[in-house]
């Protein structure tokens, strides 16, 4: 059983995320894509987005809705469910939350570098943005099997890179997820085959740093 997060921590994350975090009429739905399915090409193909978003994320949300029906989880936020559940509920809640965050952190006009407080925090933790990117990609490339690599922040705004197996999310550790790269094979195999590191390095070109900065800026709101 996971340690209960404080209500303040959960509210802070809910404010930081653009993704749907509360069920509507007891049901979670995939976040609406903020771009066309082909908008991220050539970094992520329309075929991959169609399968990844249209099939995988939809299936996680549908399974979660079925599992929580008639339970105490039905009126809880995704963050609360991830923080307090285990087994199949945790797996599907985690993957719904993960993918909602994932698909809203990209933009066809993305790339570049973070600014402001987030950039200052990255430079303070890693010395430079380039060193952060290298450590982040190395963490994702070295994760055995399926999972995620996250840039996450604690309640004080201190940053860390977190490797999560399978459907894990830093929320379960009391951290706020800011940026996540998916290393499940369904996220990249059509476009990159087994070249996971190439996929991870390419994603920097579509990261919407305005969105990531917003998540960081909302930590204590």
Q: Enter the tokens of residue 171.
A: 């929320």
The top-scoring range by mean pLDDT among 15-19, 20-24, 62-66 is 62-66
**pLDDT score of 178 more than 80:** yes
What is the tens place of the pLDDT at every residue in 56-107?
Answer: 999 999 999 999 999 999 989 999 999 999 999 999 999 999 999 999 999 9
Which regions of the chain carry the CATH code 3.55.40.20?
116-217
Contact 146, 166 (CB under 8 A): yes
Topology of the domain covering 116-217: minor pseudopilin epsh fold (3.55.40)
- Tell whether the model's pLDDT for residue 219 goes beyond 90: no
Residues whose CB falls within 8 Å of the CB of residue 167, separated by 6 or more in sequence, listed in order: 60, 90, 91, 92, 93, 94, 95, 98
CA distance linking residue 36 with residue 59, whole number of Å: 20
- Max CA separation in the chain (angstroms): 49
Q: What is the Cβ-side half-sphere exposure of residue 12, based on CA atoms within 13 angstroms?
A: 23
Q: Where, residue-wise, is CATH 1.10.287.990 in the chain? A: 7-103
The answer, yes or no, to whether residue 153 has pLDDT greater than 50, is yes
Average pLDDT, the chain: 91
Q: How confident is the model at residue 16 (pLDDT cuts 50, 70, 90)?
A: very low
- pLDDT category at 6 given cuts 50, 70, 90 is very low
For the whole prediction, is pTM greater than 0.95?
Answer: no
From the options 3.90.1180.10, 3.10.580.10, 1.20.1730.10, 1.10.287.990, give the CATH code of 7-103: 1.10.287.990
């Amino acid at each position: 059983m996971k340690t209960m997060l404080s209500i303040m921590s959960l509210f802070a994350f809910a404010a930081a995320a653009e993704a749907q975090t509360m069920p509507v009429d007891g049901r979670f739905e995939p976040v609406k894509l903020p771009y066309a399915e082909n908008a991220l090409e050539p970094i992520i193909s329309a075929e991959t987005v169609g399968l990844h978003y249209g099939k995988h994320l939809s299936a996680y949300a549908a399974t979660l809705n079925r599992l929580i029906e008639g339970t105490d989880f039905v009126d809880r936020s995704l963050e609360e469910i991830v923080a307090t559940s285990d087994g199949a509920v945790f797996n599907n809640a985690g993957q719904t939350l993960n993918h909602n965050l994932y698909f809203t952190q990209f933009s066809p006009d993305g790339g570049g570098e973070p600014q402001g407080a987030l950039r200052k925090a990255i430079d303070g933790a890693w010395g430079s943005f380039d060193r952060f990117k290298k450590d982040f990609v190395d963490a994702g490339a070295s994760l055995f099997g399926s999972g995620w690599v996250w840039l996450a922040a604690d309640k004080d705004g201190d940053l860390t890179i977190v490797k999560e197996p399978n459907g894990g999310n830093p929320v379960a550790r009391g951290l706020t997820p800011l940026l996540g790269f998916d290393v499940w094979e369904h996220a990249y195999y059509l476009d990159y085959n087994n070249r996971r590191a190439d996929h991870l390095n390419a994603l920097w070109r579509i990261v919407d740093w305005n969105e990531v900065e917003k998540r960081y800026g909302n930590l204590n709101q």
